[in-house]
């Protein structure tokens, strides 16, 4: 019942209220997401087959390269690092997703809690005294409070599983 543009605007309004408390996102992709949402809206209004993620908001962990936003890996050493899209991001874009931003993580994704020198610690949305988990904690926190239905994380030793458990998703 809602257009991709309406959903994206609502998501960013929620992020404006919640991200200062949760620190789920390292960076938001407002202009890029709204442009992608407008394109998705046009696709939905036309006839024919639609890409599988047409208009769906998706966030990307800050350890995955994405053109248009820095990929910091949660490290001061990479705070201005800009790279072209990783293959995963290219595929998400081709599938019609609206990429909303880069989610928070510990430095180099090497810790079980979101803590780095570039942002405040990631917080659990259900108990702000607790961590959102790591290393995809920002992704888990964002999905848990409705800042998007899909968040791309990475997992080598519990980095998706711990945030999913910590944030009740």
Q: Which of 23, 63, 119, 135 is catalytic?
A: 135
142 catalytically annotated: no
Q: Are 123 and 141 in contact (CB under 8 A)?
A: yes
159 catalytically annotated: yes
Q: Which of 23, 59, 61, 102 is catalytic?
A: 61
Q: Are 4 and 44 in contact (CB under 8 A)?
A: yes
H runs (alpha helix) in the chain: 4-22, 30-45, 87-94, 137-144, 161-166
Take residue 146 and report the two structure tokens written for it.
């409705």
Q: Which of 23, 59, 142, 159 is catalytic?
A: 159
User: DSSP of 18-41, one letter per residue?
Assistant: HHHHH--EEEE-HHHHHHHHHHHH
135 catalytically annotated: yes
Residues labelled as active-site residues? 61, 135, 159
């Amino acid at each position: 019942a809602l257009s991709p543009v309406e959903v994206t605007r609502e998501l960013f309004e929620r992020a404006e209220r919640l991200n200062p408390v949760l620190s789920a996102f390292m960076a938001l992709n407002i202009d890029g997401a709204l442009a992608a949402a407008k394109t998705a809206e046009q696709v939905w209004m036309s006839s024919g087959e639609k890409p599988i993620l047409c208009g769906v908001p998706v966030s990307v962990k800050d350890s995955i390269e994405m053109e248009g936003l820095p990929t910091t890996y949660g490290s001061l050493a990479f705070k201005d690092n800009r790279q072209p899209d990783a293959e995963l991001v290219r595929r998400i874009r081709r599938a019609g997703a609206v990429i909303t931003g880069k989610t928070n993580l510990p430095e180099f994704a090497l810790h079980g809690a979101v803590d780095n020198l570039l942002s405040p610690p990631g917080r659990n949305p259900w108990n702000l005294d607790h961590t959102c988990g790591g290393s995809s904690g920002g992704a888990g926190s964002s999905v848990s409070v409705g800042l998007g239905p899909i968040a791309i994380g990475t997992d080598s030793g519990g980095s998706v599983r711990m945030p999913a458990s910590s944030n009740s998703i």
